[in-house]
A = this chain, B = another copy of it.
Amino acid sequence: MTSVEEPARPGERIRDAARTRAEILDVATQEFARAGYDGARVDEIAARTRTTKRMIYYYFGGKEQLFTAVLERAYGVIREAEQQLDVDHLDPVAAIRRLAELTFDHHEQHPDFIRLVSIENIHEAHHIAASEKLGKIGSPALDVIRRILASGQESGLFTADVDAVDLHAMISSFCFFRVSNRHTFGALFGRDLLDRAQRAHYRAMLGDMVIAYLTAERTAD
């Protein structure tokens, strides 16, 4: 999530709007993810930047809009990752497993994103609603799921009654929970869901779960 890491060489150009903006976004992402929307401090974000609080208001308008901008960029990152996904050459079972693993990996590698989404849910997605970028554009993962499901159902490999959005919710819930609820789950059950030694186990468990669901014969509905 860090797109700015220039070491502030002396003599370098002092004024750089793009860099300043990006640096604010980077630090704001960390601060909002760390402390939540209300817990985050605009002064703290400014202090960890090479610029001042004034610039936050100059570029983003206010704390709310800054958080919205942070969300927009965070969602953009996962959309890009999903767009990279190419599973057209795989059979439906392998393709779904691959897609699930991509979600698994991305969520694990971006805990800040998970925290931001949790925070946004506490605020009932008001910032997403206020954003023009978010909301309109769908998820590339959904398109992929639709294609795989159609192919798998056509060939008779998959049960017919599964909806793409539902399957996306199923995969996301497992991957999301593992990161979002890591701390309470660990405190209550004494197991760290992000333990490196268990990573492969949970990754396989997700794939097994999804494939089992897709290939099982239903009792009733």
Where the two chains meet, the residues of A that have a C-beta atom closer than 8 Å to any C-beta of B are 35-39, 75, 115, 117-122, 124-125, 128-129, 134-135, 138-139, 142, 165-166, 168-170, 172-174, 176-178, 180-189, 191, 193, 201-202, 204-205, 208-209, 211-213, 215-216, 218-221
Most B CB contacts (10 A, CB to CB) among A121, A124, A174 go to: A121
| Total copies of the chain | 2
**Cα–Cα, bound, A5→B213 (Å):** 45
Name the residue on B nearest A142 (C-beta).
B189
Contact assessment for A181 and B216 in the assembled complex, using a CB-CB cutoff below 8 Å: no
Contact across chains for A139 and B189 when beta carbons are under 8 A apart? yes
Contact A177 B169 (CB under 8 A): yes
- In the bound complex, CA of A139 to CA of B216 (Å): 30
- What are 30 A-B pairs at a CB distance below 8 A? A36-B38, A37-B39, A117-B181, A117-B184, A118-B122, A120-B184, A121-B184, A125-B184, A134-B187, A135-B188, A138-B189, A142-B189, A165-B191, A166-B205, A168-B189, A169-B193, A170-B174, A170-B205, A172-B177, A173-B174, A173-B181, A174-B174, A204-B220, A208-B213, A208-B218, A208-B219, A209-B209, A212-B212, A212-B213, A213-B213
Distance between Cα atoms of A176 and B178 in the complex (Å): 11
With A36-B36, A169-B185, A212-B215 already in contact, 10 other A-B pairs whose C-beta atoms are closer than 8 Å: A36-B119, A37-B39, A75-B188, A120-B183, A128-B184, A169-B178, A172-B185, A208-B216, A211-B216, A213-B213
